[in-house]
Structure 1
Amino acid sequence: MPGKAFLVLVGSFSTYISSLKFTVSPPSLTLVTQTASGGAPSWLLQSPFNASIVYATDELPDGSLNSLVINKPSGNLTHIDTISTQGQYPTHIGAVLDGNTLGVANYYGSSEFVVSLKKDHLHFAGSEQLVAFNGSGPMPQQLSSHPHQVIKNGDETVVVDLGSDKIWRTSLNRAGKWVVRDSISQKAGSGPRHAVITGGMIYTLCELSNNLTQHTLPALGSGKPKLVTTQSITPPGTPANLSTPLAAAELLYADDPVPLLYASNRNDPHPKGDAITVFKLQPKLQPVAYVRTGLNYLRGVAFLGPQKEYVIAAGMLGGGIKVFKRVPAAQGYLSEVAHLPNGTVVQPSSFVWVDWN
């Protein structure tokens, strides 16, 4: 694809969102511009209706949610609207129901903030609700509920809660209010962070135990989820009893050419950096590769391209930002094709993309 290019937006723990250009052939990754965006725009979400509309968190003590518009010729962003998330340090945004509603995980607010969008998908409608969660775990990071991700699952919303070791299942009641209907318990101290729902299963990446769990996910009211298996994502040969344990971060799913999950590790002292652990799902969940990235504290990982042809990954504490092409198993699953040097973007943490052309 000579000349084919993507505009990649990078969320971060700085005060700006960075715009990168990834050119497919010959492969290159360059910084185009940076747009100020409140404080700590750590998570970005693209509108399911308009790829030029982006929502960004401000992961601060007074959390907020922003809407922005992409100007593709320049890569700049225009800020449109802001609303408080009514909680502290929002970590994730999910589009729920028909996509006209956003759910935000307030990590230190022990809550999910839910807000409707106006018809233009740029302005917040003002009909907000806060769904509170309770619970704690045995680890120091689990003194209270810490929602970390919001996922659409049909008409229900699934909230992954690192602090309580639970996956909360919520839906609207007859009065139009979000209520907790059920939960899935994870092992005490495991710290569920992110999850993927596919094929009647929920795969949950647990940050504190560095494990991946698989549960059945029946429709609400039709049965209880059951644990199928638990798999470590830790690369073989990793020293035991590290002073800073490995901590799982991101989980991605692709079904072409075969169903695969990509799980990122953090804090690995290996000289070749943190690894992405690749899992096959059939005939059973099991790791098939550990791809060293040369990145340190691998937090932000996302697919790039309409067919998920590429994986873009960032070392929040070193190594820069890299693009890997998804390749066949015989070629190692992921092959590095482009690299943005360390320090170009400060503490990168999330990505969204649009076609440049």
Structure 2
Amino acid sequence: MTLLWGTYPAAGLGTPAGLGEGIWRSTRPDDPAAEQVIDLPAPSFLVAHPRLPLVYAACELPASEVVVLDVRRPAAPRIVARLATGGADACHLLLAPDSRTLYVSHYSSGDLAVVPLGEDGVPVDDAPAQLLGHSGSGPNAERQEGPHAHSSLIAPGGRHVLVVDLGTDELRRYRILDGGLLEPDGIAATLPPGAGPRHAAVRGHLLYVTCELDHRLRTLRWDDASSTATVIAETPSTLAPPRSAELQDAHVALVPGHGGDVLLASVRGADVIAVFDVAPEGELTYRGAFDAGYWPRHFAAVGDRLLVGEERGHRVRSFALADVIGMPPEGGIGDVAELPYAAGEVVSPACITEI
């Protein structure tokens, strides 16, 4: 097994890139000791091709690019292609289910790049086929002065790409066509002003959206007929208080539990991962939160382990997934559990992928 970590510059997000940061590699999820295997400027998000020995890295730069890596030799990955995405600060990649299109979300310019891929997994051209922009803003003058596409996902039913826009409090909708996306296609959902939606997880016809700015986790129900989603429930992302800074919600994902699904959400500032039990019909019940280190940005379940990147702690933590899904309910409101973990050094970890 090989695990790759994308990183920010050592001084952190927003500082000059290309000063020696890059991609780190570890080989055992239970022992996250890692080494840097290639230099790249701010490769903050990675996605692996499901069938080919390729990894796509989004370099989060004012003039962003996607780098395609051949990882047949994981200890010495080789660059096989790089493509300027046309937007600013690429922060998320989505590979289409058929692996023939890569969707690139740009935080600062707020747009989505559509990159067709050949049978060999390499971009078919030297520029995106589409760069889909957007307009709008939100009430948070500091963070919502314009659109900020933070991530994208395939909508329930598989007919649309949804862009989660932190700046406009919207999920933008694009119909999937042969060779591209339909523009414009509309707004799939509007969240409360100032919510700041960031990432989403899908379970059947439900979407769970973590909102960075108002620290709420919202459940939306997707309607196939109208291709829209409606907020049906919301809950605080954690009851744990701020520790290192103001709360900033980050990543959300579903994992199987003993009696059903469990939803995990990382919350920076509180520096925890919150644990929610998911009822068969989708209702969330907060169970508690555990200490995830300094500024837990991204996490992933790999085999029987949960791997968490401490972006500002410059470490990764490896928890037994059984300990996470078996964590008892909090003893008091806002309690933070301490779970055993193994740790390894990675400078400014931003994202993990398994190859």
TM-score, normalised via structure 1 length: 0.85
**Quick check: 1:190 aligned with 2:195?**
yes
Counterpart among 272, 275, 279 of residue 278 in structure 1: 275
Deviation, structure 1 residue 223: 6.1
Moved beyond 4 Å, runs of 4+: 173-177, 328-335
Q: Which residue of 1 aligns with 2:33?
A: 30
Name the aligned partner's letter for residue 205 of structure 1: T
Q: Which residue of 2 aligns with 1:102?
A: 102
Q: Deviations over 1:252-295 (max 9, x none)?
A: 11234421110001012xxxxx11001112052121121112x1
Map of 1:153-302 to 2, 5 A cutoff? 153=155, 154-172=158-176, 177-179=181-183, 180-219=185-224, 221-222=225-226, 224-236=228-240, 238=241, 244-257=245-258, 258-268=260-270, 274-282=271-279, 284-293=283-292, 295-302=293-300
Deviation, structure 1 residue 332: 4.5
Name the aligned partner's letter for residue 38 of structure 2: T
Cα distance in 1 between the residues matched to 2:244 and 2:288: 25
Q: Deviations over 1:157-203 (max 9, x none)?
A: 01100000001111146895432233201111110000011120111
TM-score, normalised via structure 2 length: 0.86
Q: Which residue of 1 aligns with 2:93?
A: 93
SS of 2:2 mapped into structure 1: strand
Tell me if structure 2 keeps the 8 A contact 1:160–1:193.
yes
Name the aligned partner's letter for residue 41 of structure 1: P
Tell me if structure 2 keeps the 8 A contact 1:234–1:246.
no
Q: Which residue of 1 aligns with 2:13?
A: none
How many aligned residue pairs are there? 327
Tell me if structure 2 keeps the 8 A contact 1:67–1:82.
yes
Cα distance in 2 between the residues matched to 1:299 and 1:184: 25
Q: Which residue of 2 aligns with 1:114?
A: 114
Name the aligned partner's letter for residue 13 of structure 1: Y
Residue 331 and residue 216 in structure 1: after superposition, are their counterparts in 2 closer, same or farther (change >3 A)? closer
Cα distance in 2 between the residues matched to 1:300 and 1:112: 21
Cα distance in 2 between the residues matched to 1:216 and 1:170: 18
Q: Which residue of 2 aligns with 1:63?
A: 64
Residue 191 and residue 78 in structure 1: after superposition, are their counterparts in 2 closer, same or farther (change >3 A)? same
Deviation, structure 1 residue 232: 0.5
Question: Which range moved further: 110-119 or 224-233?
Answer: 224-233
Cα distance in 1 between the residues matched to 2:123 and 2:81: 6
In structure 2, stretches of 5+ residues that fail to align are: 10-20, 330-337
Residue 311 and residue 247 in structure 1: after superposition, are their counterparts in 2 closer, same or farther (change >3 A)? same
**Quick check: 1:19 aligned with 2:25?**
yes
Tell me if structure 2 keeps the 8 A contact 1:83–1:124.
no
Cα distance in 1 between the residues matched to 2:32 and 2:60: 27
Instruction: State the superposition RMSD in angstroms.
Output: 2.3
Name the aligned partner's letter for residue 50 of structure 2: P
Identity of matched residues, %: 25
Residue 226 and residue 62 in structure 1: after superposition, are their counterparts in 2 closer, same or farther (change >3 A)? same
